Amino acid sequence: MMQAIHDSVWMSPGVKVYGRVSIGRGSSLWTYSVIRAECNDVRIGRISNIQDFVMIHVGFDYPTVIGDFCSVTHHATIHGATIEDACMIGINATIMDGVIIGAGSVVAGGAFVTEGSVFPPHSVIAGVPAKVIRERDCRASNRFNAWAYHRNAEFYRSGNYRAWEGAEYEAWAVAKRKEIAADLDLRHQDME
């Protein structure tokens, strides 16, 4: 099978997906993101979001793996790297072949992560070349961001482009943060 994209995945118009790609339940691909897998494969977990103009490619020697509850933000490039669960990849970051970003980490916008770099969980990574600038467990905030994008995709699916405003959103955000704090969001089988 070339592609295994869950039926619940939302894909914005203009998304391009080529080759052996799997994407988990409740994830979303945003406008003009591109995924190419001519060799190796690309695997994206559940409730992850690949935002506008992101480029995901594989290396000759490395697949690209993006875990659950990850946000890969606008214009980022991931090339043959592993991003573990609950990570945030900043705007215009570049992550090269063989890189491993540990769970609950943040890669700052504009960072250039050189080939073969390995970062432990809960790293804040920045710079050119990128290095750990501090240690902080960002799992909860990164999971919240992933859930917010999941909500946004569901709103877009129905033609509503205002998922993040008003009293209803504020109540949702409070409830979701409490759910995340108790790790109850990890138990969702239906992903809302």
CATH code of the region 1-192:
2.160.10.10
Count of alpha carbons within 13 angstroms of residue 65, beta-carbon side: 14
| CA dist., res. 91 & res. 93, Å (int) | 6
pLDDT (0 to 100) of residue 192: 47
157 confidence band (pLDDT: 50, 70, 90): very high
| CA dist., res. 119 & res. 102, Å (int) | 6
pLDDT (0 to 100) of residue 96: 98
Whether residue 141 has pLDDT greater than 70: yes
| Reported pTM | 0.95
pLDDT (0 to 100) of residue 1: 53
- For residue 124, what are the CA distances in angstroms to 86, 101, 120? 13, 10, 10
* Exposed e or buried b per residue across 103-142, where buried means at least 16 C-beta atoms within 10 angstroms of its C-beta: bbbbbbebbbbeeebebebbbbbbeeebebeeeeebbebb
Whether residue 77 has pLDDT greater than 90: yes
